[in-house]
Structure 1
């Protein structure tokens, strides 16, 4: 009996060697993640871009909860003409400094309030703000003010228009106007009005309703110096992914400055379609 059990439990040298190799492989597989983490420690998360996006969102919505709640609580409304109204009086009406800065920037660019509804079109003015202040707005000659709608044959130049002017386009409200301005900033300007279809929420149907009311001056676009821009500066360009952006930066570091678009063709992940889209937006100074 013992002899049979011994024969049953015994292993050959080949089987023993196989068992040892198997155990080594198991240990290697289980230990691999720890070895990788030791030699490739995780990088600290950089929240800079996240915070930037949050700031942009607040700018687009005109909504800073803490500022709005505190200033609204101290509001003392009075009859007012919104044109050239001093900042301290806007504060008395319950607006935050960020909201006031947006209004002043609009006026600095030649903006004017012809009717009380024009105040509502400012994206920094919330629906609650307008409802609270509407009855106090008093614009002399308001009944004689020109219509806010575009007249036949009138168009808006996309690379120069502010948010208020963009709202004159049929179907474009404050939210869409803010998106167009934000996308234009990332892009560097529009080369053609068809690029509006790249803006979130503007589908083929919405674009068709806008196309006849807009025009583009390509001379107004700003270009990227491809030999000086860093990763953070280039990653905001909407036509490039993070991977493509990194490839452009790394290739420049390894091979020196780019002299023409032909140099970018050496980067495998940049196909002809991408190169045609980005070429008008870059220079090689």
Structure 2
């Protein structure tokens, strides 16, 4: 026969050693749970005191740096500065010395060191120089390198390219022009028969407008010697090879010549339907009638 009370009693029946272990385990769980709260309470006062000390030290360092910067700014005087107020502050004769400084700067360009300013400008006179020397800093080392005695800076001529005479190597010297673009420009000029204006360079295939505008000031039109094509002696294939004449226009020109006879005047091209005013103005420089 099943007896529930007896089963529960046996289930919750622990030995003395088991009861001791369970009690220790419960105490350990409670201690672990309360440890963060206790640690925060114990360290709260010490953290506040350390933070306050850190802020005080930071403020002291900041004030010290500000004082040092202000003192350094008051003591240093760059000899390049010709401010009327600053020279009045150091009690210099600005009416006379300002004139001498202007004459020196006009003749030599810049001060090279503090001795130059003492000899020629605001610091003229040994007593003035000795009185104001602590306030002068020699910050012209780069200028001394630029104007060192016995060394001259070579004059660089501006880069100019003759559009009718330059080869691909010369075109590559221009900014943003690589070997491919240089060869295209030369090939376009040869097929065209030469350039008669600088703007024609911008018609090269693959040459962006932004690149052409950047190099346009470096291009010059030298001697113009255009190669002209005879309308009466050139076949259809040779006409179509010209950049301004496509295959359809070349076929119409040959057909017009076969139907009406040889061209007597260049204006007869206007009788062809595809030739408008803009195309005719381009072609008239490169075509002729013999």
Calculate the TM-score normalised by the size of structure 2.
0.45
**Higher relative contact order (Cα pairs below 8 Å, separated by 6+ residues):** 1
Calculate the TM-score normalised by the size of structure 1.
0.45
Bigger radius of gyration: 2
